[in-house]
Amino acid sequence: MKSSWLRIAAVLATTCLGTGVGVSAWAQDGTIKIGVNEPLTGVVAASGNMVTAGTRIAAEEINAKGGVLGKKIQLIIEDNKSNPTEAAGVAEKLITRDKVPAMIGAWSSTYTLAVMPKLLEYKVPMVVETSSADKITTSGNPYIFRISPTNSTEAKAFKRFIGQLGIKKADFLVVNNDWGLGAAAEFSKMLKANGVTVNKSLNMDAAAQDLSAQLSSIKGTDSDTLFITTSVEQMTLLMKQAQALGMKRRIVTTGGTLPDQLIAQAGSAADNSYHDAMFAPWFPDTAADPKAARSFIEAWKKAGLPPAGMPEGARGYDAVRVLALAITKAGAPDSEKIRKALWEISYPGLTGHIKFEKVGPAGKESGQSPASTHLVKIESGKVTLVSK
C-alpha cells in the first residue's frame, strides 16, 4: 500500500509540475489563473499531492459548468519542494511570471510564513488551506485568508473530549517547526487550564526516522495520553516504534492527519489511536453540505486517487471553490477586488462552513474561518466516529 501511495504521488507530482511549467507557455486568452503552491516533492510530498489533487477536482467541476465569469479556471501548479525558501520563490514566480491574481498554499505553516512577505509586496491574496500556526493570521497581513483552523482554535475545539476520553496526564511529541511547536503550546495551555497535568513536551526534526530516544523518554512518564503533531509519514514511523517499545497509552494526533494511510502503513500499531479531523469522508453526514461531500468522494474515487488522501484533498477542493466564488463576486480576476470579495464569501465547504472573520491588527486584519473538527478513532483497522 505504501509503495502504491508513493507511486500515485509521484505521478501526480510529474503531472502537476507539467501544468505549472507548460500552461504559462501555451495559455490562451479567456482563462482565469489560480496559483497553487504546494509540496509535491520532499518530506511532505504525499500530503501536498493530495491537496493538489483536490484543487484539480474542484477546477474540473467548475469548468464543466461553464467556469467563472464565462471563463475556464486554469490552475498554475508549482512545487515548493517542502522547503520555505522554495515556497517563497514559487510565490514570486506565480505572481510575476504567471500573473496569477490569487493563489492557494502552502501546506506547512513554515512554508506559508515564508510566502507571506511576497503577498504583501505584490498585494496578491492567498487562501491558506492547511497551515495552522496562529501567527499566520495575527501578524498583520491583509492578503491571508485561512480556511484551516489555527492551533489555538483546534485546541479549544478539542476541549470537549477531555472528560469523554478521561485524559488526566499528557505528553507531547511534535515536529520541530511552527506547526508542531504551536500545537504543543496551544494544546498544553488548554489542557492545563482544564486540570490536566502536562509532563513532557519533546520535538523532532521533520526528516527524522529514528524516534526511539524521544519515545523512550516519554515512556518513562506516568501520562495516559501522548499528543502527536507531524506529517502522516513520520506519524507512521512513530506508531510502529512506540509499539515496538511496548508503550501502552492513548495516542491523539492533531492537525487533521490521514487515518486510512496509518491503517495501511502502521497496521496494528495504529489501533486505538484518536485523530482530530477537519473532513471525515467516512461519515459524509458530518460535513456542512453532505450532498457535496458525497459528490466529492465519488469524484475522488472516479479519479483513481487513494481514499486515504481525501482529508487532504478536501482542503484543496474547498480552497478553489472559495476563490471561484470570490472571483465571481469580484466580477474580474483582479487581486484587490478578489481580496475584498473574500470577506463576503459564505460557503458550506467539505471542511466546515467557511466565512472569514477578521483577526490581527486593526486595519491589517487577516481572514480566519472558524474551526470545524471531528474526532475519529481507529479500531481493529477501521475508522469510527467518536463525536462530531
* Structural domain range at position 78: 2-149+287-368
14 and 87 co-located in one domain:
yes
Q: For the chain, how many structural domains are there in total? A: 2
111 within a domain of the structure (yes/no): yes
Q: Residue 259 belongs to what H/E stretch? A: helix 259-266
15 and 135 co-located in one domain:
yes
90-111 pLDDT per residue, tens: 999 999 999 999 999 999 999 9
Alpha-carbon span 230 to 243, nearest angstrom = 18
234 and 298 co-located in one domain:
no
The proportion of the chain whose per-residue pLDDT surpasses 70, expressed as a percent, equals: 92
Q: Which of 213, 214, 208 is nearest to 184 (CA)?
A: 214
Query: For residue 29, what pLDDT band results from cuts at 50, 70 and 90?
Result: low
267 within a domain of the structure (yes/no): no
Higher pLDDT, 270 or 20: 270
| Range scoring the smallest mean pLDDT among 20-29, 235-244, 367-376 | 20-29
158 and 112 co-located in one domain:
no
19 and 124 co-located in one domain:
yes
The DSSP call for residue 177 is S
DSSP alpha helix (H) spans, 279-334: 290-302, 310-330
Is the Cα dihedral 209, 214, 220, 221 positive or negative? negative
Cell triple for 99: 500573473
Domain of 246: which CATH number? 3.40.50.2300
Mean pLDDT rounded to a whole number for the chain: 92
Contacts with 34 (C-beta within 8 Å, 6 or more apart), sequence order = 55, 59, 73, 74, 75, 76, 100, 102, 103, 104, 320, 323
139 and 177 co-located in one domain:
no
13 and 82 co-located in one domain:
yes
CA dihedral 263, 265, 267, 271 (to 10 degrees): -40
Helix, strand, or coil here: 367?
A: strand
Please tell me the predicted confidence (pLDDT) of residue 20: 38
Please tell me the predicted confidence (pLDDT) of residue 387: 80
Helix, strand, or coil here: 135?
A: helix
CA dihedral 58, 61, 64, 67 (to 10 degrees): -40
144 and 157 co-located in one domain:
no
Q: Compute CA distances 317 → 121, 147, 198, 246, whole Å.
A: 27, 11, 37, 40
Report which residue type is found at 88: A
Please tell me the predicted confidence (pLDDT) of residue 382: 96
Q: What is the mean pLDDT of residues 158-185?
A: 96
Please tell me the predicted confidence (pLDDT) of residue 22: 31
Distance of CA 302 to the CA centre of its chain: 22
40 and 134 co-located in one domain:
yes
Beta bridge partners of 175: 204
Query: For residue 3, what pLDDT band results from cuts at 50, 70 and 90?
Result: very low
Q: What is the mean pLDDT of residues 312-320?
A: 97
39-86 pLDDT per residue, tens: 999 999 999 999 999 999 999 999 999 999 999 999 999 999 999 999
7 and 101 co-located in one domain:
yes
99 and 169 co-located in one domain:
no
Query: For residue 116, what pLDDT band results from cuts at 50, 70 and 90?
Result: very high
pTM of the model: 0.88
